[in-house]
Structure 1
Amino acid sequence: MLLLLLVLLLLAVWSVLIEPRWVAERRYDVSVPGWDGPPGLKVAVASDWHMGQSALRSVMTLDRARAIVADINAARPDVVLLPGDFISGRGEDGTTPEQVAAVLGQLKATHGVYAVLGNHDWWTNGTRYTRALEAAGVQVLQNEAQRLPGTSVWVVGIGDRTTGHSDPLQALRGVPTGARTLTFMHDPASALPLPRGSGLTVAAHTHGGQVWIPFHGSIVAPHGWPVKQTHGWVRVNRREVYITSGLGVSIYPVRFNMRPEWVMFSIKAAVRPDETAESAPPAPAS
């Protein structure tokens, strides 16, 4: 009995105090057929920050977020994609959109920093978040596409599904036929109606369940999403989508076997017909 209590105590300490703060920097090479963008384009993805004031409850304080921003900048990304949920809860602890934007506005990328809003951002004040982020130099895309400056690549941002802001087909309307894209969204379910595309598609929102049980998957998944498809490379209808585990926590300040992460993708042209983003290896859970 004493040994069991000791094991449970160690698991609690690990899950509450250590793993939620043990941020992984993952890197993947993605091969895209007919890629005509810059060779080796480096795309950093950092989602679900859930910033707040409490180091214990929200984990992701503004100071911790600044340190992660510095790490991302040190990797010298060409593009940064921020797939939403920047605030913990609804900002009840007094964290403001302007404070969050001041942190994320420090991100630097050759071709720009782009964001979509998540459900927590909309529940707090989506309009205010949009204004604050854009004032800080972050381009917010709400079901719209924008050509990456100086390239033939398009960035496609899809709005949040939970709060009724998702319109994937609208987001694609301005993209020329056959163009290579960087498509990002908060909720992976927004990828369901998307046609096949050529490029990179990423989503967030699930946190990988925050707790991942071997042979089962995550202990929870939002809105009926499959518990075995909350992290890594997942086929969503006609696309291969990378679902990131995110950086922060929500509801409970715990992570186990599902480290927080930010991801750097390096995109190159495929040299074989079967060498595509769909053949990329699944991400490890920890």
Structure 2
Amino acid sequence: MGGPDAVLVFAWVAAVVAPILSMVMIRLSLSEGRIFLARAIAGVSIVAWALWVWAFLIEPTTLTVRHVTVESASWVGPPVRIGIISDTHVAAPHVDVPRVAGLVERMNGQAPDLVVLLGDYTGGHEPAEARAAPDRSEILQGVLAFKALRAPLGVYGVLGNHDSWFDEAAIEQALTQANVRVVENRAVAVETDSGRFWVAGLADMVSRRTRPSIPQALSAVPESDPVILLTHWPDPFAETPRRVALTLAGHTHCGQVNLPLVGRPILPSAGSRRWPCGLYDEGSRKLFVTGGIGVSILPVRFRAPPEIVILTLKAAP
């Protein structure tokens, strides 16, 4: 049993045992006539138990469909509805193949024009050769579940750091079998009745086979054509040129935990700390960072619910 799985088991045990211990402490306090203490224990216990259960056992299993509209000066032509899925982390706590199939069905119900997958389909940090066969199979079956996605303009994807640690070639092969076009430091043209735009993608930042390169990814794209750039990490946005109508990223999980007043105490990279969650506009350059679906390290989400996104990209007035 891996660390996150052990923590999840502990979360379930604590959810059951904590109320019992609280009741014992309350009865002892009452028997000693310490009514104020008993009330304090009861109040603190109820709040702590509710937050614990919500963060470890309930919120990570929810699914929000988030709707966003972005107006970009670099976009031309009619609006396009983009479905965004990221960080499924299959084989980590809370996400298995049936759950991926369920969110694919939810996405299809939104009828997007195209769908983009932003990496980290793999749960855990171990390479494929260090995992048991059922674990490897579950991860690849989770990728193959994307074959059921329906989008008239296609499905496009990039790899994430967990995929690089697992087995880049195996994940890319599974994506290809699922009819997902992997755009790694390259761009593909999308032809529509009203014109052409491009979907470009970057290699993962810890890839063992290549480094992310924006110039390489955009090399085939004419200057006058609009382009959407996919990256797992938000960090490359620092070097994204204005000609890119929209950059889409995942990786951050929106911090997984978003505390009142404190904010998001744990973010995985410098770019994640600068652009942790949501829509950013820097000098007319647009970035959207999704919180994704799964969990990493700890099986917890608090005020950072799992999400799929329908983003409508349109030309600025």
TM interval, short-chain normalised: 0.7 to 0.9
Residues 12-37 of structure 1: CA distance to partner in whole angstroms, max 9, x if unpaired?
A: 10001111112110111222336334
1:222-261 to 2 correspondences below 5 Å: 222-225=268-271, 227=273, 229-235=275-281, 239-261=285-307
Could you tell me how far 1:234 is from its partner in structure 2?
2.8
| Aligned residue among 171, 179, 196 for 1:152 | 196
Could you tell me how far 1:9 is from its partner in structure 2?
1.1
Could you tell me how far 1:118 is from its partner in structure 2?
0.3
1:126-275 to 2 correspondences below 5 Å: 126-150=168-192, 151-163=195-207, 165-225=211-271, 227=273, 229-235=275-281, 239-271=285-317
Bigger Rg, which one:
2
What's 1:26 paired with?
66
1:4 pairs with 2:44: yes
Give yes or no for contact 2:291–2:304 (8 Å, CA) kept in 1: yes
What's 1:81 paired with?
116
> Structure 1 residues 226, 51: CA separation in 2 closer, same or farther (over 3 Å shift)?
closer
Whichever residue aligns with residue 149 of structure 1, its letter is E
1:84-95 to 2 correspondences below 5 Å: 84-89=119-124, 90=126, 92=131, 94-95=135-136
> Structure 1 residues 124, 27: CA separation in 2 closer, same or farther (over 3 Å shift)?
same
Could you tell me how far 1:186 is from its partner in structure 2?
0.2
Secondary structure, in 3 states, of the residue corresponding to 2:296? Answer: coil
Whichever residue aligns with residue 40 of structure 1, its letter is P
> Structure 1 residues 231, 34: CA separation in 2 closer, same or farther (over 3 Å shift)?
closer
1:16 pairs with 2:56: yes
Give yes or no for contact 2:74–2:243 (8 Å, CA) kept in 1: no
1:119-130 to 2 correspondences below 5 Å: 119-130=161-172
Distance in 2, Cα, partners of 1:9 & 1:200: 42
95-104 or 186-195, which moves further after superposition? 95-104
What's 2:32 paired with?
none
What's 1:284 paired with?
none
Give yes or no for contact 1:85–1:120 (8 Å, CA) kept in 2: yes
What's 1:40 paired with?
79
> Structure 1 residues 226, 188: CA separation in 2 closer, same or farther (over 3 Å shift)?
closer
1:110 pairs with 2:152: yes
Percent identity, aligned pairs only, is 33
> Structure 1 residues 169, 216: CA separation in 2 closer, same or farther (over 3 Å shift)?
farther
> Structure 1 residues 198, 120: CA separation in 2 closer, same or farther (over 3 Å shift)?
closer
- RMSD of equivalent CA atoms: 2.0
1:62 pairs with 2:120: no
Residues 128-185 of structure 1: CA distance to partner in whole angstroms, max 9, x if unpaired?
A: 1111111221100111111113341100111111336322221111111132111110
Q: Which structure is higher in helix share?
A: 2
What's 2:10 paired with?
none
Distance in 2, Cα, partners of 1:198 & 1:103: 30
> Structure 1 residues 229, 98: CA separation in 2 closer, same or farther (over 3 Å shift)?
closer
Secondary structure, in 3 states, of the residue corresponding to 2:196? Answer: coil
Whichever residue aligns with residue 230 of structure 2, its letter is F
Uncovered stretches (5+) of structure 1, i.e. residues with no partner: 272-286
Give yes or no for contact 2:233–2:272 (8 Å, CA) kept in 1: no
Whichever residue aligns with residue 24 of structure 1, its letter is T
Uncovered stretches (5+) of structure 2, i.e. residues with no partner: 1-40
Give yes or no for contact 1:78–1:111 (8 Å, CA) kept in 2: yes
222-231 or 261-270, which moves further after superposition? 222-231
191-200 or 133-142, which moves further after superposition? 191-200
Q: What TM-score, normalized to structure 1?
A: 0.87
- Size of the aligned set, in residue pairs, is 266
